[in-house]
């Protein structure tokens, strides 16, 4: 069932391992973030951050992956909490559109398998009440992923370039279209051109930015390591209604896989609505689907040209 997608999969998978005032709308003052016209209150987020950094929560924080940067301190905790609030807002919108809801019975069952209330509280950054809603969000995201994984596919092509300057110039040319866009891909091997990748063929890849970026967009990716090339990817097509091939793979996937695919389905809305983050926390990176430090973005996305 798995088709060969060759270097297309390899290029995107490498980057997947990197894990980058409103006019008349709500003011950034007093907001931790703004999603479309929804403001996420600063005081609510600050209260959650204060709790997460309290001595009572020290074990939950210190037990987390410290990462290459060394340490998991207050900036990382704050970004994780603001990220969760943004994804929760986007998820509420999408599940309302989809008619997806999680019953209290299903939520209680999930909580029962996660451990005792004391164990959950000890391992979480949040209060029991907030953690309960986070688990509800995860269940809803998994349901969203299960609804689409069999029908989700992207068609893309990419080119590797040696420098940031060349990559940005090439991306702008590709976004503009025409002969200059095609010249960027001149000489690119066939296995890097117009390859369709289905989520069922590579569910792990389906959690990546490639499956959440709208058709017509151009992505500029930073190198995953020093000395590696920059990558420019053009999303030629993205579909969520491809006819299923064979039996559903939902039962073959773990809850965490479905959950991550479901969250990735929120990326188009984050770009369409716009996400602004209070500078004290960082910036929103749609590629990583997270709030990150300004110098830690995975790259940038050039949107499709405006119609008309």
pLDDT of res. 2: 37
- Per-residue pLDDT, averaged over 15-44, amounts to 71
The backbone torsions φ and ψ at residue 271, rounded to the nearest 5 degrees and listed phi first, read -80, -40
pLDDT at 187: 87
The pLDDT, as a whole number, for residue 61 is 53
Looking up tokens 């188009």, which residue turns up? Answer: 268
CA-nearest of 278, 270, 257, 240 to 44 is 278
Average pLDDT over residues 161-169: 96
- Tens-digit pLDDT profile for residues 246-277: 889 999 999 999 999 999 999 999 999 999 99
Joined tokens for residue 188:
């690119």
pLDDT bin (cut points 50, 70, 90) of residue 224 is: confident
245 has a pLDDT exceeding 60: yes
Considering only 110-114, 251-255, 293-297, 298-302, which range has the smallest mean pLDDT?
A: 110-114
What is the C-alpha separation between 110 and 206, in angstroms, rounded?
A: 24
First-to-last C-alpha distance (Å) of the chain: 40
- Tell whether the model's pLDDT for residue 4 goes beyond 50: no
Does the pLDDT value for residue 15 go beyond 70?
A: no
The alpha helices in the chain, defined as continuous H runs, are 6-16, 42-52, 58-62, 74-98, 104-114, 117-123, 128-148, 164-176, 179-184, 255-264, 267-273
DSSP state of 276: E
The tens digit of pLDDT for each residue in 172-189 reads 999 999 899 999 999 899
Q: Tell me, what's the pLDDT at 116?
A: 75
At 213 the pLDDT is 96
* pLDDT tens column, 65-122: 444 333 457 899 999 999 999 999 999 999 999 999 999 999 999 988 877 777 777 7
Cβ within 8 Å of residue 14, ≥6 positions away: 224, 228
pLDDT classification of 6: cutoffs 50, 70, 90? very low
What confidence score (pLDDT) does residue 27 get? 58
Mean pLDDT, rounded, for 209-216 = 95
> 130 or 168: whose pLDDT is higher?
168
What average pLDDT does the chain have? Answer: 86
Q: Of the given ranges (44-58, 246-260, 281-295), which has the lowest mean pLDDT?
A: 44-58
Cβ atoms of 79 and 53 closer than 8 Å: no
pLDDT digits (tens, 9 = 90+) for 16-30: 443 333 344 555 678
Question: Where residue 57 falls among pLDDT bands split at 50, 70, 90?
Answer: confident
Look at the alpha carbons of 283, 287, 289, 292 in this order and tell me if their dihedral is positive or negative. negative
pLDDT band (50, 70, 90) for residue 192:
confident
Average pLDDT over residues 221-248: 93
Question: Checking DSSP bridges between strand 31-35 and strand 38-41, what pairing results, if any?
Answer: antiparallel
Task: Round to whole Å and give the CA distance between 223 and 270.
Answer: 24
Domains of the chain: 6-16+151-266 (3.10.50)
Task: Give the pLDDT of residue 257.
Answer: 94
Q: pTM of the predicted model, to two decimals? A: 0.86
Cross-strand partners of 37: none
Backbone dihedral region of 216: left (phi > 0), alpha (psi from -120 to 50 degrees) or beta?
left
């Amino acid at each position: 069932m798995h088709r060969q997608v060759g270097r297309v999969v390899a290029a995107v998978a490498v980057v997947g391992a990197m894990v980058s005032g409103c006019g008349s709308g709500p003011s950034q003052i007093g907001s931790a973030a703004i999603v479309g016209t929804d403001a996420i209150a600063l005081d609510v987020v600050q209260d959650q951050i204060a709790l997460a950094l309290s001595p009572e929560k020290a074990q939950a924080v210190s037990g987390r992956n410290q990462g290459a940067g060394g340490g998991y301190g207050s900036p990382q905790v704050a970004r994780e909490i603001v990220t969760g609030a943004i994804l929760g807002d986007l998820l509420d919108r999408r599940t309302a559109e989809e008619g997806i809801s999680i019953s209290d019975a299903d939520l209680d069952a999930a909580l029962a398998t996660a451990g005792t209330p004391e164990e959950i509280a000890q391992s979480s950054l949040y209060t029991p009440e907030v953690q309960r809603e986070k688990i509800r969000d995860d269940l809803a995201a998994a349901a969203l992923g299960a609804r689409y994984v069999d029908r989700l596919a992207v068609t893309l092509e990419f080119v590797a370039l040696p420098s940031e300057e060349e990559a940005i110039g090439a991306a702008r040319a590709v976004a503009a279209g025409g002969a200059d866009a095609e010249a960027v891909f001149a000489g690119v091997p066939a296995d890097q051109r117009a390859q369709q990748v289905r989520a069922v063929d590579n569910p792990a890849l389906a959690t990546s930015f490639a499956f959440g970026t709208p058709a017509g967009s151009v992505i500029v990716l930073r190198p995953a390591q020093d000395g590696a090339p920059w990558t420019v990817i053009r999303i030629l097509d993205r579909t969520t209604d491809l006819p299923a091939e064979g039996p559903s793979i939902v039962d073959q996937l773990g809850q965490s896989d479905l959950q991550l695919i479901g969250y990735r389905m929120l990326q188009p809305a984050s770009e369409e609505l716009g996400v602004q983050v209070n500078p004290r926390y960082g910036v929103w990176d749609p590629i990583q689907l997270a709030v990150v430090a300004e110098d830690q973005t995975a790259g940038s996305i050039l949107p499709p040209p405006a119609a008309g």
